[in-house]
Amino acid sequence: MWTRDDYWLAIHFKLQLYEAMGEAFQRLVADVLMAHYQDFVPVRPSGSVGDHGNDGYVRSLGVFFQVYGPANVQEREAARKAHADFAKLRRHYPDLKSYRFVLNDRFRGIPASVLDELNAMQRETGIDCQAIGAGHLLGLFRGLAAEARTLIVQGVPGDLPDWIDPRAVAEVLEHLARYDAGWGDISKRLAPDFDEKIRFNGLDGFAADRLRSLSYQVGSVDAFFQVRDPALAQAVAQELRVLYAKSQQSIAEVDEDAAALHYVWMIKRIIPPDARKRPIVLKAYREAAETVLAKYFETCDVYDTPGTSGRTA
């Protein structure tokens, strides 16, 4: 479970990623990789020779890193650099087994042309070639010991402001509330067991209809996690599993409306208190909360799954 300090450390690191470019970004990446890999070796350019496309490597794994943090990412230039530095590495490092092109995409996602170039290089050479963006770096940072994270961001304040919501779910809620996902994936077909799970849990009427409707929007949640931090999805799942367990303790299962009461109980507690002060903000956050709940209903993190609990249909 994340603490308020964990949240604040991550906020500071994300801000550094947004602001870092050039050598500052390279130093930040090196700090994370040195904390993550015991034998990571950062490489500094040497005069006119340069770094041969190598900004650091993990000797035991044969993994070499090229770090690129421009002020503004230009797709063609980023793809060209990914290719050129890989070619340099192949010429100068025969022990190259894996290539990581670290790009500061500032949580916007790795450009398709860069991914296409890396895939083409991998097909041509058989060497594992992958991109690492800001979301991946944030995931690595969150996996570090608290002491290492504190050193990287140079400390955190003793107290968080009252309006800060340190929960993992808060990040995805804010994103969904701010950006319109439109109609969602209208071509989506519900999983065969989706309605079975609805019936198994005794959901009907309003709650069942909302889960079906908002399930067409869960693609926006998945897209957010892919760009921001895939590990965040598991943190949110754990928070919602705990929340559902608490709802079961608070609401008697013998109540004929127990399933619907669980739904409303969880939605009310997912929405941060600060969002309830203005009706227009509350409406956006309520739909965001329902979309998140629909996603984790699909993945069986909330409510019971047929065949895995004592509940009978």
Q: Among candidates 164, 171, 303, 287, which has minimal Cα distance to 236?
A: 171
Are 156 and 5 contacting, i.e. CB atoms less than 8 angstroms apart?
yes
The lowest-confidence range among 192-196, 232-236, 279-283 is 192-196
Are 83 and 121 contacting, i.e. CB atoms less than 8 angstroms apart?
yes
Contacts 24+ apart (CB under 8 A), 158-166: 160/4, 160/7, 160/8, 163/274, 164/4, 164/7, 164/8, 165/272, 165/274, 166/2, 166/3, 166/4, 166/6, 166/7, 166/8
Residue 228 in domain: yes
- H/E stretch holding 150: helix 146-153
**33 and 98 co-located in one domain:** yes
**243 and 138 co-located in one domain:** no
Residue 310 in domain: no
* Confidence grade of residue 64 (pLDDT, cut at 50, 70, 90): very high
**176 and 264 co-located in one domain:** yes
Residue 246 CB partners (closer than 8 Å, separation 6+): none
Residue 159 in domain: no
The lowest-confidence range among 56-60, 96-100, 138-142, 301-305 is 301-305
**144 and 177 co-located in one domain:** no
**Is pLDDT at 312 greater than 50 in this prediction?**
no
Residue 230 in domain: yes
Residue 229 in domain: yes
Q: Which of 110, 127, 153 is the last residue of a domain?
A: 153
pLDDT tens-digit readout, 290-306: 999 999 998 888 888 88
Residue 46 in domain: yes
**Is pLDDT at 12 greater than 90 in this prediction?**
no
* Confidence grade of residue 49 (pLDDT, cut at 50, 70, 90): low
SS3 content of the chain, % helix, strand, coil (to 5): 60, 10, 35
**Is pLDDT at 157 greater than 80 in this prediction?**
no
**17 and 46 co-located in one domain:** yes
In whole angstroms, what is the distance from residue 190 CA to residue 32 CA? 40
**148 and 175 co-located in one domain:** no
Q: Which of 126, 153, 180 is the last residue of a domain?
A: 153
**125 and 210 co-located in one domain:** no
Are 65 and 46 contacting, i.e. CB atoms less than 8 angstroms apart?
no
**Is pLDDT at 159 greater than 60 in this prediction?**
no
266-292: average pLDDT:
87
**290 and 174 co-located in one domain:** yes
**99 and 173 co-located in one domain:** no
CATH assignment of the domain containing 24? 3.40.91
What is the side-by-side strand order in the sheet with 40-42?
Answer: 40-42, 56-58, 63-68, 98-103, 128-132
Q: Which of 91, 119, 153 is the last residue of a domain?
A: 153
**Is pLDDT at 103 greater than 70 in this prediction?**
yes
What residue numbers bound the domain in which 56 lies?
4-153
**141 and 235 co-located in one domain:** no
Residue 313 in domain: no
pLDDT score for 313? 45
The total number of structural domains in the chain stands at 2
pLDDT tens-digit readout, 173-220: 888 888 776 655 656 666 667 888 888 888 877 788 888 888 888 888
**8 and 144 co-located in one domain:** yes
Residue 312 in domain: no
For all residues of the chain together, what is the average pLDDT?
Answer: 85
**Is pLDDT at 254 greater than 60 in this prediction?**
yes
**185 and 222 co-located in one domain:** yes
In whole angstroms, what is the distance from residue 8 CA to residue 111 CA? 29
Are 179 and 217 contacting, i.e. CB atoms less than 8 angstroms apart?
no
Q: What percent of the chain has pLDDT over 70?
A: 86
pLDDT score for 1? 58
In whole angstroms, what is the distance from residue 157 CA to residue 159 CA? 6
